[in-house]
Amino acid sequence: MNNAADTILQRLCHRRALAGWQRRADRVAGIGPARLERLRGRAVELRRHIDRFVLVADGRLERGMAAAGDDGVPLGTDWVWRPDPWTGRLAVPGLAPAGSGSALGGGVHLFHDCPLAEIAVRQRRNPCAAGLPPFGVAVEVFGFGGSFLSLALDLPQAAAQGLGPRHLVRLETVAECERPLGLFARLNLQQGPNVAQVLRQVSADRGGRVVAFDLAALPGVPVDRLWLDLIFEAPAMNRIVLQDVRLCRHPRAAL
């Protein structure tokens, strides 16, 4: 039997099975207890396999979308990375209210000093657009009486390996917000007891933006750890959606 016949047969079997379970669901009130218990056991077993299939299929599709967006990096790039909340479905997709230090997942934490914590942060699915990862992160702020609000992203250890003064670290963001606000990115590099910081302003207007952190002034000793702070200025009564956050590193062009 050829592949086309297999496909037709599989579709027929699927339609019959689907119709059978639809009839049972419609008539469940009239099924006797003994038969109902048997059918329920079959349904639970079937659902277990279906849930497993959907979970694995979603993971493969989401990884494929994320990989499709890993183009356009500068020549000579030796490391590129997106944080987990942009590339895979989180077990807990949102926090409301979100207190300071709340973990969204994948090394992403929310920090602020607002006493009311009228803040919500959640993962959301991105629209199907070229270059976007499968998910984005939305930060919704209502009353805000604090002095700072930031998302801290812990970079993986691979970002620190071999990192030195000859490198540029490039940050790409795609963001939109309901009201204009200031958005800053601060790269923190820990070298032993010392922490070097490089601050850049990022436009939060609709669309993609790129900033580069030049590490020329970095002391020539190994970097132990890196993290990035995305700092929101005057965020009250606003909704900020970070559709994409991607970092990469590449050597500075030789003069």
User: Which CATH number fits the domain that encloses residue 148?
Assistant: 2.60.120.260
DSSP letters spanning 117-162: --EEEEEEEPPS-TT--SEEEEEEE-S--SS-EEEEEEPPGGGTTT
Whose CA is closest to 136, among 230, 243, 63, 209? 243
Select from 36, 68, 100 the last residue of a domain. 68
The residue among 68, 89, 117 that closes a domain is 68
Which pLDDT tens digit goes with each residue over 44-77?
888 888 877 776 666 666 655 555 555 677 778 8
The reply to whether 73 falls in a domain is no
What does the pLDDT read at residue 1? Answer: 46
Looking at the domain assignment, is residue 74 inside a domain?
Answer: no
29 and 122 assigned to the same domain: no
Contact, 203 vs 176, CB < 8 A?
Answer: no
125-182, pLDDT tens digit by residue? 888 766 788 899 999 998 888 889 999 999 999 999 989 888 999 999 999 898 888 8
Work out the mean pLDDT of the chain and round it to a whole number.
85
Yes or no: say if 238 and 180 are a contact pair by the CB < 8 Å rule.
Answer: no
- 103 shares a domain with 32: no
Give bridge partners of residue 186 from the DSSP assignment: 199, 229
Query: What is the distance between the alpha carbons of residues 208 and 241, in angstroms, rounded to a whole number?
Result: 12
Tell me which residue range forms the domain holding 200: 79-251
**97 occurs within a structural domain:** yes
Question: What are the structure tokens assigned to 39, written together?
Answer: 């059918």
| Segment 158-171, tens digit of pLDDT | 999 989 888 999 99
Write down the pTM of the prediction. Answer: 0.72
